[in-house]
Amino acid sequence: MARMSAPSPTLPEAPAAGDGAIRRPGLLGSWPEMTYAGVLSFLRRTYTRDWTGADVVVSGIPLDLATTFRPGARLGPAAIRAASVQLAELKPFPWGFDPFETLAVVDAGDCWLDAHNPHTIPGAIRDHARRILASGARMLTLGGDHFITYPLLQAHAERWGKPLALIHFDAHCDTWPDDSPDSLNHGTMFYKAVREGLIDPAHSVQIGIRTWNDDFMGLHVLDAPTVHARGADWALQQVLAIVGDRPAYVTFDIDCLDPAHAPGTGTPVAGGLSSAQALHIVRGLVPVNLVGMDVVEVAPPYDHADITALAAAHVACDLLCVLAAQRGARRAGA
């Protein structure tokens, strides 16, 4: 006589928690997570290539073929995502609001690059950015070495139809001469950007600079010693005055920070800003018309404790909070 199998028990529905990057039912809102587990999207946002309804698309560009010193920034996007998980647990400080109640943010994963055919890389990055910008969303890009900002600026200037104001945090000015159209060089992007009319030097500012160049190409330079002497609030007021109401692109090279605060980077330079100084300036950018953002040059192999990736995750999170504040999110107590 055949043995009858027992009916399968009816299991309760899985709780609405965990793996929000692939299980969240919509783009807005937050979702309970274990900080130490789950799918590692940036700030646990939904992973998708469907950008319908997204205000901001986060994506990584894992490139380090343009570095002049230590490689490793190709591992930056993954490290920043991993470091961001604890920031998704609570309302960001000092904002006191959940930016994702106001701002629909998705993680599109990484831009596909053919590292064995380097001359295809600028076009791949540019086309990746064009597709995202065509959706109406803004971009928050995780690098990758700083060369990626050059094709990103090309796509953003094309989208906005005018030269952009550049807010550039860095130890290096990256305006060294380079007239080769095919070079991959993370120290010449803004030379090309000025020459090609992608940015307006008169309304662009570089913060934290501590390397020399004979020609800064007309960009305003707030070097690191001056910021130390006059303070982060003074630097913020200078940035706001220089940029005004023009469409602005923010690029944050993590080596703007002193190596004590960001050891995991390809070209560290002593004497840089502290993370507190830099975050104060970033958090004060609410009056600026931000049209694009990137955080670059995180190279995890040179950092034993994820200090650099954590600093980058904080910068990127604060940039999203700036956009949320612009859309009406209110600081606690405001």
Whole-number pLDDT of residue 199 = 98
Whole-number pLDDT of residue 308 = 98
* Residue set of the binding site: 146, 170, 172, 174, 253, 255
Q: Is residue 41 part of a domain?
A: yes
What's this model's pTM, rounded to 2 decimal places?
0.93
Q: Is residue 289 part of a domain?
A: yes
Q: How far apart are CA 257 and CA 275, in angstroms?
A: 6
Q: Is residue 200 part of a domain?
A: yes
**Number of domains into which the chain is organized:** 1
* Residue set of the binding site for Mn(2+): 146, 170, 172, 174, 253, 255
Q: Are strands 105-110 and 165-169 parallel, antiparallel or unpaired?
A: unpaired
Whole-number pLDDT of residue 98 = 96
Q: Is residue 15 part of a domain?
A: no
The CATH code of the domain that includes 267 is: 3.40.800.10
Averaged pLDDT, groups of 10, the chain, 334 residues long? 57 72 86 83 95 97 95 97 93 95 97 95 97 97 97 97 96 94 92 97 98 94 98 98 97 98 97 98 98 98 96 98 94 69
Between the alpha carbon of residue 72 and those of residues 78, 101, 136, 265, 276, the distances in Å are 11, 35, 32, 8, 25
Whole-number pLDDT of residue 10 = 65
Q: Is residue 147 part of a domain?
A: yes
> Residue 141 pairs with which residues in a beta bridge?
59, 294
Phi then psi dihedrals of residue 273, to 5 deg = -70, 155
DSSP per-residue string spanning 129-160:
HHHHHHTT-EEEEEESSGGGHHHHHHHHHHHH
Q: Is residue 215 part of a domain?
A: yes
Q: Is residue 199 part of a domain?
A: yes
**Owning domain of residue 44:** 30-327
**Six-digit token string for 94:** 């000092």
Whole-number pLDDT of residue 97 = 96
Whole-number pLDDT of residue 36 = 81
DSSP per-residue string spanning 19-73:
-HHHH-SSSSS-----TTSS---GGGPEE-S--TT-SEEEEEE---TT-SS---G
Amino acid identity, position 59? S
Q: Is residue 149 part of a domain?
A: yes
